[in-house]
Amino acid sequence: MKILDILRYAFSAIKLRKFRAFLNILGIAIGIAAIVSLLGITAGLQASITGELTQGLSANSLIVMPGGDSSGQDSPGFSIGLSGSGSGFNLYINQTSDIESLSPNITSAIAIIQRTGRIVSDDLNRSVTIYGVDYDAYAQVYPSFSAESGYIPVNPQNDDIVLGSRVVDPAQNGTQFIVPGDDVSLLWLNATVLPPVYENYTVQVSGVLGKVGGGFGLAPSDGAVYIPLSTAADFFDTDACDMIVVTLTNSDNATMTEVTNLIKTYYSGQVAVVSSDVLAAVLNSVLSYLQLFLVGIAAISLLVAGVGIMNIMMVSLIERTREIGILKALGMKSRTVLMIFLGESVILGFIGGVVGVVGGWVIANGVTWVLGSGLLGIGGNLSITPVLSPLVIFGALAFGVGISVIFALYPAWRASKLRPVDAIRHE
């Protein structure tokens, strides 16, 4: 019996048992959809992180953050986006001039204070990240820190603030809740006193940035609020900063290494000094492990689906015992019976794989859209486009077919070993 004939016969057998076939396909599709959606989202997140770090951070800049140790080992992955590393070591605003004097290869050093707070207006009340920066110095390091509407004040007053595009337009649909010139309130939970109290600060919006992306706390961000550095020091009652951005004369490895070692020596190894390339590598490494872990969990659902396929095919074998006996009595070889059952599993696995790939792509786009829109109150700064490579598509299809075939082997082998006489006499 030819392969094409075997597949036709297997397909006709599937059509006779539509509901069971549907259950098999559904099990495979759910597992494949989970794998494809997770791979697509994490791959898109990796691309987004790499792109935004490359765009946001200049190649000739270094980020200094609390987080090293006396052995000089950096731990940047635990400092990113946090208000302090929790190590007990602090950087201070007035240390920027000391850093600038360490080497002629250093052109500038700017301090940044970062806190989580809320912005409140007549029409808006949402959580934001508040950055205290020197507007002029910050704009020189990050050209994307430029106003799309309003202006960036050269000599800002204490109440002049600049907002990211997503703060004024959370859904990014053109509906702006705040415009330059509006008065708003900034709230910050002061936990240094007991009981903790919300500090309230009334400010005026000077400008709104154009869309720049996430920033990851290291570059201009769509979801950030920027206030003058001196104002931040007073508002947060601190002279410590969360990071210092050091700009160099060039991006040569020798220059980067020399300045890095000088800064670490100056701080006795108590700081992490990292570049945009190092940050991207750290984040991508973390995401790779997370991707592997999530896909492993999703693969478990495919194994469960495989057990279901085996059970359903065993039931099908019992129901079709007489049919198999008649076919073998008419001269069908055991190998052909085996191929018929395996052919059914291949068809079910392939259809389930196709449905799963399409469903996973739809799910990935839906999840990233919800995260990007901020509808859940989280992730409003994320800008992720799911990535689905041909390798993922063909790998998912092969995995779906492979699982289906593997769990169908035993029922197919049992069917091929039935004796014609016993099979025909089966009730």
> Per-residue b/e over 329-341, b at no fewer than 16 CB within 10 Å?
eeebeeebbbbbb
pLDDT of 103 over the 80 cut: yes
Q: How many residues does the chain have?
A: 427
Calpha distance 156→134 (Å, rounded):
9
Q: With beta carbons less than 8 A apart as the criterion, state whether 221 and 215 touch.
A: yes
Calpha distance 288→397 (Å, rounded):
22
Q: Which of 217, 166, 208 is nearest to 53 (CA)?
A: 217
Mean pLDDT of the region 51-75? 66
Q: With beta carbons less than 8 A apart as the criterion, state whether 148 and 218 touch.
A: no
* DSSP SS3 for 236: coil
Calpha distance 93→237 (Å, rounded):
13
Per-residue DSSP letters for 38-106? Answer: HHHHHHHHHHHHHHHHHHHS-TTEEEEEE---TT----GGGTTT-SS-SSS--EEGGGHHHHHTT-TTE
pLDDT of 293 over the 90 cut: no
pLDDT at 425: 65
Q: With beta carbons less than 8 A apart as the criterion, state whether 335 and 416 touch.
A: yes
Confidence at 226, pLDDT banded by 50, 70, 90: very high
What's the pLDDT tens digit per position in 383-406?
Answer: 678 888 888 889 888 888 888 888
Here the tokens at position 209 are: 């940035």
Q: What are phi and psi of 233, to 5 degrees?
A: -60, -40
What's the pLDDT tens digit per position in 179-224?
Answer: 999 999 999 888 877 888 888 889 999 999 988 766 555 678 888 9
pLDDT of 7 over the 70 cut: yes
Mean pLDDT of the region 111-139? 91
Q: What average pLDDT does the structure give for the chain?
A: 81
Calpha distance 109→415 (Å, rounded):
76
Calpha distance 204→185 (Å, rounded):
9
What's the pLDDT tens digit per position in 359-373?
Answer: 999 998 888 887 766
User: How far, CA to CA in Å, does 391 sit from each of 40, 346, 357?
Assistant: 12, 20, 12
CA 76 to chain centre: 18
pLDDT at 1: 58
What's the pLDDT tens digit per position in 41-51?
Answer: 888 877 777 76
Mean pLDDT of the region 159-186? 87
Q: Which of 186, 211, 166 is nearest to 56 (CA)?
A: 211
Q: With beta carbons less than 8 A apart as the criterion, state whether 50 and 280 touch.
A: yes
DSSP single-letter state for residue 173: S
Q: What are phi and psi of 126, to 5 degrees?
A: -145, 160
What's the pLDDT tens digit per position in 233-261?
Answer: 999 989 999 999 999 998 888 898 899 99
